C-alpha cells in the first residue's frame, strides 16, 4: 500500500521505497529527486486504489541557440576536467535536471541544481559539467533562488544555492562539479542522463 505525505503543498506518493518521503538532498550521494503528483494523476491513482508513477513535467523547448559559457569559463570548454581543476574537495549539492532544451541551429540544454560548500559555509560559486570522457562541456554560476534547499537543510544558510549551466550536449551522460572559491578545487554535484 502506498504511503502519502504532504510536502511543500504537493502530495508525494511513496511505494514502499527506503527513505521515501525524505528529500533527496539529505543524501547527495543518492539524490534523484521526489516527484509531485499532478491532480489529474492523483484522481486516477485514487480511482484505481493503486500507485502510479507521476508523469515528469514537460521540459521547456526553444529554437533559440544555447547561450555561450560565462566569461570565466570560456577558455575551459573542451579541456579535460583533471587538467583544469587538479584538486578534488567536498561539498553538498545535487544535479536536479534539464530545465530547458535548445533545439535550434546551436542545440544544447540548460541544466539546474544546487551546491553548498560546508567548509566555507557558502554557496558553490561556479559549476562545470563534463561529458562521458570527463571533458568540460558547459559552465554556469550559482545564485539562483532555491528556498527548498535551506528548508530541507537548516545547515545551509542561503536561499540562493541554486545553479544553472548551459551546455551544447543534447544526449548522453554528464557529471556536474562545483568550482570552489579557490578556483582550483572541484566537488562532485551529481550525474544526469540527457
Residue 141 clears pLDDT 90, i.e. is over it: yes
Domain count, the chain: 2
Q: With beta carbons less than 8 A apart as the criterion, state whether 26 and 149 touch.
A: no
Q: What confidence tens digit (pLDDT) does each residue in 17-54 have?
A: 344 443 444 444 444 433 344 555 445 545 554 444 44
Residue 54 inside a domain? The answer is no
Mean pLDDT, residues 125-136: 98
- In a domain, residue 55? The reply is no
* 14 and 80 together in one domain: no
Answer yes or no: do 115 and 33 share one domain.
no
Say yes or no: 33 and 127 in one domain. no
* pLDDT greater at residue 20 or residue 69: 69
Q: Are 94 and 10 in a shared domain?
A: no
Over residues 73-111, the pLDDT tens digits come to: 999 999 999 999 999 999 999 999 999 999 989 999 999
Q: Report which of 170, 171, 172, 148 is spatially closest to residue 159, judged by C-alpha positions.
A: 148
Is 36 domain-assigned? yes
Report pTM: 0.70
Residues 82 and 150 in one domain: yes
Please indicate, yes or no, whether residues 132 and 174 belong to a single structural domain of this protein: yes
**Regarding beta strands 3-7 and 10-14, do their DSSP bridges make them parallel or antiparallel, or are they unpaired?**
antiparallel
Amino acid 40: pLDDT: 56
Domain that holds residue 17: 3-48
Q: Is 181 exposed, middle or buried (0-12, 13-18, 19+ CB in 10 A)?
A: middle
Please say if the pLDDT value at position 125 is more than 90. yes
User: What is the rounded distance in angstroms from the CA atom of residue 114 to the CA atom of residue 94?
Assistant: 5
By percentage, how much of the chain surpasses pLDDT 90? Answer: 66
Residues 17 and 74 in one domain: no
156 within 8 A of 149, measured Cβ to Cβ: yes
Residue 59 binned pLDDT confidence (cut-offs 50, 70, 90): low
User: Are both 72 and 24 inside the same structural domain?
Assistant: no
- Together in a domain, 107 and 188: yes
**SS (HEC) of the chain:** CCEEEEECCEEEEECCCCCCCCCHHHCHHHCCCCCCCCHHHHHHHHHHCCCCCCCCCCCEEECCCCCCCCHHHCCCCCCEHHHHCCEECCCEEEEEEEEEEECCCCCEEEEEEEEEECCCCEECCEEEEECCCCEEEEEEEEEECCCHHHHHCCCCCCCCCEEEEEECCCCCEEEEEEECCCCCEEEEEEEEEC
CATH for 148:
2.60.40
Amino acid at each position: 500500500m502506498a504511503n502519502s505525505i504532504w510536502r511543500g503543498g504537493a502530495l508525494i506518493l511513496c511505494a514502499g521505497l527506503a527513505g521515501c518521503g525524505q528529500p533527496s538532498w539529505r543524501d547527495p550521494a543518492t539524490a534523484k529527486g521526489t516527484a509531485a503528483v499532478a491532480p489529474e494523476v492523483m484522481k486516477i491513482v485514487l480511482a484505481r486504489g493503486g500507485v502510479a508513477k507521476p508523469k515528469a513535467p514537460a521540459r521547456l523547448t526553444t529554437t533559440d541557440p544555447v547561450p555561450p559559457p560565462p566569461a570565466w569559463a570560456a577558455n575551459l570548454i573542451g579541456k579535460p576536467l583533471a587538467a583544469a581543476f587538479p584538486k578534488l574537495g567536498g561539498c553538498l549539492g545535487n544535479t536536479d535536471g534539464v530545465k530547458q532544451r535548445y533545439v535550434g541551429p546551436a542545440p544544447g540544454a540548460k541544466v539546474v541544481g544546487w551546491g553548498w560548500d560546508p567548509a566555507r559555509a557558502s554557496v558553490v560559486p561556479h559549476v562545470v559539467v563534463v561529458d562521458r570522457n570527463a571533458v568540460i562541456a558547459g559552465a554556469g554560476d550559482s545564485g539562483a533562488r532555491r528556498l527548498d534547499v535551506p528548508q530541507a537543510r537548516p545547515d545551509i544558510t542561503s536561499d540562493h544555492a541554486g545553479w544553472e549551466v548551459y551546455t551544447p550536449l543534447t544526449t548522453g551522460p554528464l557529471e556536474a562539479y562545483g568550482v570552489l572559491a579557490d578556483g582550483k578545487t572541484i566537488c562532485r554535484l551529481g550525474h544526469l542522463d540527457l
